[in-house]
Amino acid sequence: MTAPALIVDSHCHLDFPDFKGELPDVIARATAAGVGRMVTICTKLRLEPQVRAISENYPQVFYAAGTHPMSAADEPMATVDQLTALARHPKFVGIGETGLDYHYTAESKAVQQESLRIHIEAARQTGLPLIIHARDADDDIARILTEEHRAGAFGCVMHCFSSSAELAQVALDLGFYLSMSGIAAFPRSRDLRAIFAAAPVNRILVETDAPYLAPPPHRGRRNEPAYTAHTAAVGAEVFGMDYAAFARQTSANFDRLFAKATLEGAA
């Protein structure tokens, strides 16, 4: 039997309680589905040691760390020095996730924006990509990313992109990447798929955001990295490509942005 084409789950949360006691099986299923690499994301810096340990235990798992915008008001403010020190670890490949989320936590706008700018400076200093979470904050995200990019360039992925076509264009104009999650595979996400279809395919990544947002046929259940394959299959349709070609393209895109996340470097 032919092995599935290799893809990358560029954003998952393997430290979450949903996977407790099951990680070996979860990783094995991902490998069987052709998910050759995964980036597990730390959303609270006090939890960084346990996220780092997961990456150290599995050669195909890398990690990133930052303060999630929804936690920005409740967690100690990250510092640039703290983030750049973490970036020295060989498996640490990105800064974040950070960003702005005004859906549930609009009252902490000012703190979120301060935290975001700190993470941007860390991305600038380390050369590692920024991982952005944006929800109900398109105008402020576009403004801050544009201002900061003018002050000094940095790489960036708009993780789990499900915002407006206008924000997508701002991100693409800045040289950033858009990541497709299971949301893009939902039947009612036609407008979102159209936004992706209008983007250059060499700026597209795929992800799960596991344990959240499982794509069909697993929608409504726990997501896991193996299911990246379902989103990638939809992505291939969106761009009029066969699955293997889309897998190669998105993996090459990931390599370009997350240049530190090589299996050779993990060996």
- Binding site residues, as ranges? 11, 13, 97, 133, 159, 209
Helix (H) or strand (E) holding 8: strand 7-12
Taking alpha carbons only, the member of 48, 41, 32, 36 closest to residue 12 is 41
Cβ atoms of residues 130 and 94 within 8 Å: yes
Cβ atoms of residues 6 and 228 within 8 Å: no
Q: Which residues are annotated as a binding site for a divalent metal cation?
A: 11, 13, 97, 133, 159, 209
Alpha carbon separation from 94 to 122, 131, 234, 250 (Å, rounded): 10, 7, 26, 17
DSSP H helices, 33-183, are 48-57, 80-86, 109-126, 138-151, 165-173
Cβ atoms of residues 205 and 179 within 8 Å: yes
- Look at phi and psi of residue 238 and say left if phi exceeds 0, alpha if psi is from -120 to 50, else beta: alpha
